[in-house]
Amino acid sequence: MISAGSIAWSGPRRCRRGDRSLPHAAARGAYLRRVAHFAVTAVGSDRPGIVAAITAGLLELGGNVEDSRMTILRGHFVVMLIVSLPTGADREALEAALEPEGRRLELEALTVSEVGELAPTSPTPSHVITVYGADHPGIVSAVSAELARRGDNITDLQTKLSGTEARPLYVMMLEVELGAGSAAELSTALAAVAESAAVEISIRELGAETL
């Protein structure tokens, strides 16, 4: 045993099951008791502090961000979260914790919905589809309908409007997990979609470095 003044060190303390006196043990125990899952969506004009405000409100309830996606769409900052809360916290409590910051930041939308707990999945996208052409309604619908018909799963989709105001160009990129069909069959099917939708579509294998 090493003594230094009034402090004695007798070696590392082992964490016993049920021991809640150690911070990491308490945190672990609280996490294991989380049962309620919620989807939180927020939309507002892009500005610093949106993420900090939302997560601060969540932290007040002892909540945890499990999955998230955040991006800027046409100048709007969009936040999508799947969060878990400890036993006893409900949707009303989460809304009450987030609503003041939503007002302060003048968010255009802030919604909380309870969702069921699902086993985490690991989709394995194998191909990237790129679509571009003159902007007009129906592009996303045409491509996604063909993929759904074939049983191909969209694991990620991004779109962007570029070009000029006079000649807007619509660009879409999808990552897909192929169903029972082959990539060659998909390429043939998408060629027909490209002709009917008056767009250009290309498909390539998703490289390992992208995964």
pLDDT in tens, 58-97: 999 999 999 999 999 989 999 999 999 998 889 999 999 9
Contacts of 100 (CB under 8 A, 6+ apart): 57
CB of 119 within 8 A of CB of 107?
A: no
Mean pLDDT to the nearest integer, 41-56? 94
| pLDDT bracket for residue 13 (50, 70, 90) | very low
- Neighbour tally for 84: CB within 10 Å: 19
Q: What is the arrangement of strands in the sheet containing 200-205, beginning at the earlier edge strand?
A: 153-163, 168-177, 127-134, 200-205
pLDDT at 28 over 60: no
The reply to whether domains 24-115 and 127-210 share a CATH topology is yes
Going from N- to C-terminal start, the domains of the chain cover 24-115, 127-210
**CATH number of the domain located at residue range(s) 24-115 in this protein:** 3.30.70.260
pLDDT at 15 over 50: no
| pLDDT bracket for residue 179 (50, 70, 90) | very high
pTM over 0.85: no
Token pair listed for 4: 């230094």
* Predicted local confidence at residue 99, as pLDDT: 94
Higher pLDDT among residues 119 and 31, named by residue: 119
* Predicted local confidence at residue 10, as pLDDT: 38
| pLDDT bracket for residue 8 (50, 70, 90) | very low
Buried b (16+ CB within 10 A) or exposed e, 87-113: eebeeebbbebbeebbeebebeebebe
Mean pLDDT to the nearest integer, 181-192? 96
pLDDT at 22 over 70: no
CB of 197 within 8 A of CB of 181?
A: no
* Predicted local confidence at residue 1, as pLDDT: 39
Give me the chain's average pLDDT, please: 84
Token pair listed for 90: 């409900």
Instruction: Name which CATH class applies to 127-210.
Output: alpha beta
| pLDDT bracket for residue 33 (50, 70, 90) | low
* Predicted local confidence at residue 51, as pLDDT: 95
pLDDT at 27 over 60: no
